[in-house]
Chains A and B, each alone.
Chain A
C-alpha cells in the first residue's frame, strides 16, 4: 500500500500538449536532444497532428510535432530519423498549417536530407525562386552531401555559365571536398596511431608492466589530451609505481629519474608524431576555412537575401507621475531574437547618449530570449533604444525601438486645465464683482436711493463725516476733564454728542470704563432737572443690572447726589476698571434759564468725592459766551471745543461718499454746494437731499452745477431760514 501510494505520489501524468509545449520550447532554445525526448513522448500520447488539437475546455492548439522532430534530428545529425519524421509530417499534412518560417526550414531540410534527385527534374529556372537554388545548396553543404551540392552547383553553372561567383563557388567546393578528404585521411592516420598506442598501453597494463603502460598512456595523451582512459590510468599508474617503490625502499631520486625518463620518451614521441598532429590540425583548419568561404560566397550572393536578425520587442514604458509632474521614466525591456545565422552577441543601447544598457554573449545561438530588465530608468524622455546584433559571420545589424514614453506630466500648476481653471475663476470673480456692482447701482437707482439726512441728528455712523479729529481729541481729554462743545446752530453738536454716545462704550481705555448718558435738556424745566438727569442715568444703567428704588419726583440735588453715589458704588463693584459716568448734556442753553443755585448745585456734583467717576460733555450755542464769564458758576470748569463748519475735503466726503457708485457730482457742483452752504453739514445734507431727489426726477445720475443752481433756487428760503434761525 505504501509502495502504491509512493508510486501514485511520484507519478505525474503529462498531457500531450504539456509535453509538446516543453518540446517546442526546447527546440526554440536549440536544445534538440531534450526537444526530441519531449516531442516523442507527446506523439506517444497523441500521434495525430492537427491544426486545432484540443487541449482542454475549449482550447485548441497547432500540433505539428513531426516538423520539429525532423528538424531537431537533422541538426543532431540523424538523417534516418529525419527522413522518418519527414514522412510522418507529410502523412499528417503538417505543411498545410505550419507557419512560413518553419515550413521554409522544413523544405530546406527535406531537400538536404532526401538528397537524391535528378537535376532535370528541377523546374525551369525562370520559375524557380533564386533562393530555392542556393538554399538547398547550402543545405547540402551543411550536411556534407557533396554529390547533391555538386549537382546543384553544376545545374546553376549550366544556367549561368558566365557567373564568376558560381565558378568561384565551384572551385571552393572542390577545394573543400579535397580538404575534407585530406582531413579524413590524416584523421584516419591519426586515429590509427592513437589506437596503436592505446592498445599497447592496455597490453602493458595486462602484462603488469606499469612503467611501459604509463609510457604508452602518456603517448596517448600526447595525441589526445582529453582521452579519459589515458588520464585516469596515468594517474593510477603513477600512484602504483610510487607505492611499490616506497615499499621496495627506493628513494625519491629514483622516482625523479623515472619521471625524467618518461618525460624524455614522451617528448621523443611527440617529436616523432609532430608532423602527423600538425598535419591533422592543418587539414581540419583548411576544411573549415573552405566551408566558411563557401558559406560566405553563397550568402554574399545577390540571389540569396542576406539573413537579418528578427527582433521582437516587448517594451513597457511608464513614468512616475504625480500632481507635481513627471519625476522619472522607466522601461521594462524584453525582446526575442531569431537569426538564421548563429549570433555572437547582442548589445542593448540607449539612443540619446549611446550608453550601453546590457550585453549578452550568444555563442552562435540562433534564438535568444532576453531576461526581463525591469524598471530600467531613463534620465530623460527620449524613448529610443536600439540593439546591435553580431552574427558569427561578423556582420553587425542594428535594430531600433522607438516607443515613446507616456506623455510626461507637468506639475499640476502648469497644466493647461489648472491654469485655465484659475483664469476662468479669476475672470468670473472679476465679472461677478463688476456685475454685482452694476446690479447694486441699478438697484439703488430703482429704489430711489437717497441717504442724506437733513434735520434729524446723524445717528448712522456711515453718515457721520468730518469730525474725526475732534472726536479723537475729546476721547483723549475726557478722562479728567469735562468739556464744552459749542458752535453755531445746525453745526452738528447733537450729532456729535450722539457719536460720542456710541464711541465711548467701545473705548478700550486701560484705566476707565466709560459709561455715557445722553440727556437732552430741550424742554426740561428746572424743577425736573435733577429728576431728569437721574432718570436718564437709571435708564442707562438698568441694562447693566444696576437699579435703585424709584426716585422721588421732584428730586433735589442732595437726593440726586445720594443716588449718584449709589450708582457709582454699584458700578465700581461691577467693573474691573474705574467707572466713569459721562453725562452728555445736549441743549444746555436751557440751563441758562435755570437759577444760579441750580447751576451751582449741578456744578457741585462734579466736586464731590466721586467726582473722579463723573464728567460732563455739554453742548450748546451760547454757553461759551455766558459760561466763560467770571460770574458764571461754570467759569473755568470746562475745556472748550468749537465745532466749526466743514473744510473742503470733509464737505467733499459728506457730499460724495454717501452716494458713491450710485450718483456722481461734477467738481463745480461740489464747489457750488460749498459756496452755498458754507460748509455747514446740515445745509450740505439738505442741499444734497434735494439734489438727489431732483436728479432722480430727471432720471439721471450725475449732479451738475446747473442742478445745484436749480435746486438752490427752490429751497433758498429754507436755507436762509435754516441759517438765520435761532
Chain B
C-alpha cells in the first residue's frame, strides 16, 4: 500500500495536534484500491519539517505533545500552535512490465491528489512541575473523486489476456485524534505521556472485475463499500535525556488503535452483499532521536523511525477468490532516517532561523511476493496478481527539506517548510503564539 495524505481542511478548533500520519485506507484487504498507498509517519510542525522531518531528539516546542511529549517539560509559558499544510502526492498507475503488455481501454485516471488542511493545533501550559498540552491532530483525511480503471493486459509469454475494470470512490476517510499530553522533568530525564481519542470516519466504495477467457480461475468480482465511524484510544510515550547541556537523546513510542469496521462485501464468498468485519490496525511506531546544540546558533538533529508495518498484514483480509493468501504479501519495515539542521540568526527583537535537511524512507508498499509456483495455472494466477498489485518499483523515497522561521518579540513565531521527495511535495506553515 502506498501512503496517502489527508485532503480537506477539517475542524477549525483551537485544540488540534497534528500527526500527519499517512494512514492506510482503512482495513487492510487485497483490494487493489490499496496498492497505491504507502504510509508516511511524519512529524507535526513546520519547524520539524524544515529540519529533515527530525524532531524527537529536540522536541522543544508545542508540537512536542505528539512527536515526543517529554519535550513539553521545557516550556515555561503557555503556547498556542496552529499548522496548515498542503500536500501533493503522486501514485503510479499500472504500467506494462516485462511480463505483461498493456492495452488501456480507458486511459489511466488521475494518479495524484492534492490536500490542503489544518493538520494540527495545540494549547500547552505549565502547572506546578508539570507541563500539559491539549491537542487535536488530523491523522488522515483522504478523498478521491470516482476513479475508473479499465484495461486489457496480455501475458507476453503465455498469451492469455486479462480484462480489468476497477471503479472506486472515496467519499472521505478521516482519522482525527483529540488528546492530552503530560510531561515532567526528573533531573536530566524528561518523561511525557499522551493519551488520545482517535475517531475513524469513513465512506468509500469499491468495485473490481477481473475476467479472462483463457484462465477461468482469474475470473473474479468484488464489490464493497464501507460507511461509519468508531472511536479508539491511542497512546504516546516520550523520553528525553540530557546527556550534557545542549545534547539530548530522545525516544518516542506511539501505540495506535486497532479499528474494526464493517465492510459490505459482495464477492464469490458473499454472493449477497454482506457485512464483514474488517480489522485495521494502525501500525505502532518507535522513534529514536539525537539532538545537539553546540552553541546558541546551531541545532543538529538525527532521527531513526521504525514503524511496524507488519501489523497491517497481521490483519489483512483476502476478499478475492484468487488462490492467494495473506502470507503472499509483504511490506518493508526498514527504518526511516532523517537528518536536519537549524541556524538561528538573532536580530534585535526578531530571531530568524534557516533550516534544511534530508530524509530517506525505504519502500513500505504492500507487495505481492508469493514464491514462484511449479503449477502452471497457479503461476499464471500469481503472475497476474503480481502485475496488478505491484504497480511500481521498489524504491526508497528520498527527499530534502528547506525551512524558514521567525520569532517576533519572543511572542509570535512563524515557520514555513518545503518538503520535496520522489513521492510527494509538501508545504507546511505554522503559527505559534506565546502568552
Q: How far is the CA of A58 from the CA of B76 in the complex (A)?
A: 13
- Is there a chain A Cβ closer than 8 Å to B353's Cβ? yes
Q: Are B242 and A58 in contact (CB under 8 A)?
A: no
Q: Are A51 and B245 in contact (CB under 8 A)?
A: no
Q: Are A13 and B296 in contact (CB under 8 A)?
A: no
Q: Which residues of A contact B185 (CB under 8 A)?
A: 12-13
A615 → chain B closest CB, angstroms: 82
A-contacting 9-mer, from B227-235, B378-386, B405-413: B405-413
Q: Mark B159-188, 1 if CB is under 8 A from A, else 0.
A: 000000000000000000000000001111
Q: How far is the CA of A46 from the CA of B129 in the complex (A)?
A: 22
Q: Which residues of A contact B351 (CB under 8 A)?
A: 52, 58-60
Q: How far is the CA of A29 from the CA of B345 in the complex (A)?
A: 33
Q: Are A50 and B187 in contact (CB under 8 A)?
A: no
Q: Are A8 and B187 in contact (CB under 8 A)?
A: yes
Given A13-B186, A13-B187; A54-B293 close (CB under 8 Å): yes
Q: Which residues of A contact B413 (CB under 8 A)?
A: 57-58
In the complex, the chain A residue whose C-beta lies closest to that of B299 is A54
- Is there a chain B Cβ closer than 8 Å to A417's Cβ? no
- Is there a chain B Cβ closer than 8 Å to A15's Cβ? yes
Q: Are A53 and B186 in contact (CB under 8 A)?
A: no
- Is there a chain A Cβ closer than 8 Å to B93's Cβ? no
B192 → chain A closest CB, angstroms: 14
- Is there a chain B Cβ closer than 8 Å to A45's Cβ? yes
Q: How far is the CA of A386 from the CA of B117 in the complex (A)?
A: 53
Q: How far is the CA of A16 from the CA of B245 in the complex (A)?
A: 9
Q: Are A59 and B407 in contact (CB under 8 A)?
A: yes
Q: Are A58 and B405 in contact (CB under 8 A)?
A: yes
Docked complex: A34-59 residues within 8 A CB-CB of B: 45-46, 50-54, 56-59
A694 → chain B closest CB, angstroms: 76
- Is there a chain B Cβ closer than 8 Å to A120's Cβ? no
Q: Are B186 and A57 in contact (CB under 8 A)?
A: no
Q: Are B61 and A57 in contact (CB under 8 A)?
A: yes
Q: Which of B75, B245, B353 contacts A58 (CB 8 A)?
A: B353
Q: Are A8 and B186 in contact (CB under 8 A)?
A: yes
Q: Which residues of A contact B61 (CB under 8 A)?
A: 56-57
Given A18-B76, A56-B75, A57-B413; A46-B407 close (CB under 8 Å): no
Q: Which residues of A contact B186 (CB under 8 A)?
A: 8-9, 11-13
Q: Are B296 and A52 in contact (CB under 8 A)?
A: yes
Q: Which of B74, B129, B432 contacts A56 (CB 8 A)?
A: B74
- Is there a chain A Cβ closer than 8 Å to B60's Cβ? yes
Q: Which residues of B contact A15 (CB under 8 A)?
A: 74
- Is there a chain A Cβ closer than 8 Å to B12's Cβ? no
Q: Which residues of B contact A54 (CB under 8 A)?
A: 293, 296-297, 344
Q: Are A51 and B74 in contact (CB under 8 A)?
A: no
Q: Mark A7-25, 1 if CB is under 8 A from B, else 0.
A: 1110111011010000000
Q: Which residues of A contact B388 (CB under 8 A)?
A: none
B245 → chain A closest CB, angstroms: 6
Q: Which residues of B contact A60 (CB under 8 A)?
A: 296, 344, 346, 351, 410
Docked complex: B409-435 residues within 8 A CB-CB of A: 410, 413, 432
Q: Which residues of A contact B410 (CB under 8 A)?
A: 59-60
Q: Which of B129, B293, B297 contacts A12 (CB 8 A)?
A: B129
Q: How far is the CA of A443 from the CA of B346 in the complex (A)?
A: 80
Docked complex: B273-294 residues within 8 A CB-CB of A: 293
Q: Mark A271-310, 1 if CB is under 8 A from B, else 0.
A: 0000000000000000000000000000000000000000
In the complex, the chain A residue whose C-beta lies closest to that of B79 is A57
In the complex, the chain A residue whose C-beta lies closest to that of B413 is A58
Q: Which of A11, A18, A52 contacts B187 (CB 8 A)?
A: A11
- Is there a chain A Cβ closer than 8 Å to B189's Cβ? yes
Given A52-B296, A58-B353; A46-B245 close (CB under 8 Å): yes
In the complex, the chain B residue whose C-beta lies closest to that of A15 is B74
Q: Which residues of A contact B405 (CB under 8 A)?
A: 58
Q: Which residues of B contact A11 (CB under 8 A)?
A: 186-187
Q: How far is the CA of A59 from the CA of B61 in the complex (A)?
A: 10
Given A52-B346, A56-B61; A13-B353 close (CB under 8 Å): no
Q: How far is the CA of A665 from the CA of B284 in the complex (A)?
A: 100
Counting chain B residues whose Cβ lies within 8 A of the other chain, the interface size class is 20 to 34
Q: Which residues of B contact A12 (CB under 8 A)?
A: 129, 185-187
Q: Mark A50-73, 1 if CB is under 8 A from B, else 0.
A: 111110111110000000000000
Q: Mark B45-83, 1 if CB is under 8 A from A, else 0.
A: 001000000000000110000000000001110000000
A477 → chain B closest CB, angstroms: 81
A128 → chain B closest CB, angstroms: 32
A146 → chain B closest CB, angstroms: 45
Q: How far is the CA of A45 from the CA of B410 in the complex (A)?
A: 23
Q: How far is the CA of A11 from the CA of B73 in the complex (A)?
A: 14
Q: Mark A255-283, 1 if CB is under 8 A from B, else 0.
A: 00000000000000000000000000000
Given A12-B187, A52-B296, A52-B351; A58-B74 close (CB under 8 Å): no
Q: How far is the CA of A7 from the CA of B61 in the complex (A)?
A: 27
Given A52-B346, A56-B61; A13-B188 close (CB under 8 Å): yes
Given A51-B346, A59-B407, A60-B344; A45-B245 close (CB under 8 Å): yes
Q: Mark B302-333, 1 if CB is under 8 A from A, else 0.
A: 00000000000000000000000000000000
Q: How far is the CA of A18 from the CA of B75 in the complex (A)?
A: 10
B344 → chain A closest CB, angstroms: 6
Q: How far is the CA of A7 from the CA of B186 in the complex (A)?
A: 8
Q: Which residues of A contact B245 (CB under 8 A)?
A: 16, 45-46
In the complex, the chain B residue whose C-beta lies closest to that of A59 is B410
Q: How far is the CA of A56 from the CA of B70 in the complex (A)?
A: 14
A47 → chain B closest CB, angstroms: 10
In the complex, the chain A residue whose C-beta lies closest to that of B60 is A56
Q: Are B187 and A58 in contact (CB under 8 A)?
A: no
In the complex, the chain B residue whose C-beta lies closest to that of A14 is B185
Given A13-B242, A53-B296; A58-B189 close (CB under 8 Å): no
Q: Which residues of A contact B189 (CB under 8 A)?
A: 8, 13
B189 → chain A closest CB, angstroms: 7
B362 → chain A closest CB, angstroms: 31
Q: How far is the CA of A52 from the CA of B348 in the complex (A)?
A: 9
Q: Mark B13-30, 1 if CB is under 8 A from A, else 0.
A: 000000000000000000
Q: Which residues of A contact B297 (CB under 8 A)?
A: 54
Q: Which residues of B contact A51 (CB under 8 A)?
A: 346
B87 → chain A closest CB, angstroms: 25
In this complex, the member of B47, B76, B129, B297 whose beta carbon has the largest number of chain A beta carbons within 10 angstroms is B76
Docked complex: B357-386 residues within 8 A CB-CB of A: none
Q: How far is the CA of A56 from the CA of B296 in the complex (A)?
A: 10
Q: How far is the CA of A59 from the CA of B411 in the complex (A)?
A: 9
Q: Are A50 and B296 in contact (CB under 8 A)?
A: yes
Q: How far is the CA of A8 from the CA of B60 in the complex (A)?
A: 21
Q: Which residues of B contact A16 (CB under 8 A)?
A: 245
Q: How far is the CA of A15 from the CA of B71 in the complex (A)?
A: 13
In the complex, the chain A residue whose C-beta lies closest to that of B345 is A52
Q: Which residues of A contact B296 (CB under 8 A)?
A: 50, 52-54, 60
Q: Which residues of B contact A53 (CB under 8 A)?
A: 296
Q: How far is the CA of A15 from the CA of B293 in the complex (A)?
A: 14
In the complex, the chain A residue whose C-beta lies closest to that of B410 is A59
Q: Which residues of A contact B188 (CB under 8 A)?
A: 13
Q: How far is the CA of A45 from the CA of B432 in the complex (A)?
A: 28
B341 → chain A closest CB, angstroms: 14
Q: Which residues of B contact A56 (CB under 8 A)?
A: 60-61, 74-75
Chain A positions near chain B (C-beta within 8 angstroms): 7-9, 11-13, 15-16, 18, 45-46, 50-54, 56-60
Known: A11-B186, A13-B189, A58-B344. 5 other contacts (CB 8 A): A8-B189, A9-B186, A12-B129, A15-B74, A52-B344
Which A-B residue pairs are the 3 nearest by beta carbons?
Answer: A11-B187, A52-B346, A56-B60
Could you list 28 examples of A-B contacts with CB < 8 Å?
A: A7-B187, A8-B189, A9-B186, A12-B185, A13-B186, A13-B187, A13-B188, A15-B74, A46-B245, A51-B346, A52-B296, A52-B344, A54-B293, A54-B296, A56-B60, A56-B61, A56-B74, A57-B47, A57-B61, A57-B413, A57-B432, A58-B47, A58-B351, A58-B353, A58-B405, A60-B296, A60-B344, A60-B346
